[in-house]
Structure 1
Amino acid sequence: MQRRHPIALLATLMFVVSAPAFAWSGFGHQLVGELAERQLSESARAQIADLLRDEPEQTLASVATWPDTVRKQAAWKFTAPFHYVYIQDDACRYDAARDCPDGSCIVAAIDRYGAELRDATLPREQRAQALKFVVHFVGDVHQPLHAGNRTDEGGNEFQVNLDGEGTNLHSVWDYRILHSAQLDLQTYADRLDAQRRRAPGLANGDSAAWAMESCSALAAQAAYPAKPGKLDPSYLVDKRGYVEQRVVQASERLAAMLERALGVGAGP
């Protein structure tokens, strides 16, 4: 086995340690949570704070990464397939019986945990867990490589080289694109919130529609390079605007979903 120079090894270790802080499953999810909470009514925010009263922080951003932290634990391994869906159709048409057998995909998970969150007769702890899953999965389904129609494990098997580092396309979309803006959470959230206020979207559709949007974006946004290999750094800048758009859309749709479940007049 070839030995690596100590400096090169140190750089690699630093990258491995620091990268998750900027992952869609970290930084991106926190952005979605922060933006969504800014759009909620006082009533919905109060109920969220009550549901999360046992947490160190009672905000959507603070719990947005929880499903990723527990998915490898024995008690939560059953949730691993809930983070994605493989749509087995070239035109990105989702079919529940074909693409989500036994409800084991992100589309069904959003609906299932959304129903638990709405049900005020359930124990608070169960609804708090449902809230954390909803926040996370609504973010995931807006990341195109979490809802694609290619047989490469959501781009995990599509190898690329970026800035001299070997990685894969899924990782690029998970964290490299947002990280390339080099902004902290609050600064980035302020910027995207200002964009949203200037051109508010429609919090429309459902979990299946959001998944089909993501799937269609793989072709529409030319997410896949022509072939594996060296990826020009300009790719990050080229795709960042669309990724930011998906973060904003996720936040609007999450806020609307939570408002229906927890806002003024919400019921079981």
Structure 2
Amino acid sequence: MPEGDTVHQAARRLHVALAGSSITRSDLRVPKLATVDLTGRTVLDVTPRGKHLLTRIEGGLTLHSHLRMDGSWRVYAPGERWRGGPGHQIRAIIGTADRTAVGYRLPVLELLRTTDEDKAVGHLGPDLLGPDWDPERALANLLASPERAVGEALLDQRNLAGIGNIYKSELCFLLGVTPWLPVGELPDETAARLPALAHKLLEANRDRPARTTTGRPRPDQRLYVYGRAPRPCLRCATPLRTAEQGDGSRSRPTYWCPTCQRGPTP
């Protein structure tokens, strides 16, 4: 699933391509929007909110999309071949005279009144890359359910918006705790560091084409633990481990170092 930094980059690409231009082609390929025609309206801006994308359009409209596991927006120049996937996977086409944005495999696509955006994103906690970022509020949200595992709490976008499975595993490693440790058992100093460290990681990667939490250039060493099991830990050389973690509705592969991280494990 794309994480906050990836969605931020997608929003910027779409904004640069579309904002300020009039829509010359509108094709929304979901049943509820099949008859919607946005041609002639101007794209005002494209704004990220956590993992959500809000494309605001003249006339008080917002096209809300979410990429979830494998959705994507691609931008093409006139005459450029579309390479985002087969045609049956296209869910949205928004074209201007100079660029065409194509949304592939979008699981969420809806048209809202801009004044009703809170219906789509009002439940989100502070956005790690947004103007509303508030580390104290984020920490309070996380600590509100002390029995909850740190990894699950970090993925709950109601606590803080923008963290996905990769950053969850990397943050827990950098904090020295396993993703299964209850939030209430975090040492006070560690808990206090968590929001600032999460913000630092996403902020450092918001403009990078290749995400890294280690600062190392080699592709196999850009992350400390995520996707690296059973290779050795970059700090202590202990073989890394992986297991599924979830709340019962969905499980995700989780990675950790049994030496560098303390706390319960499966």
TM-score w.r.t. the length of structure 1 is 0.31
TM-score w.r.t. the length of structure 2 is 0.31
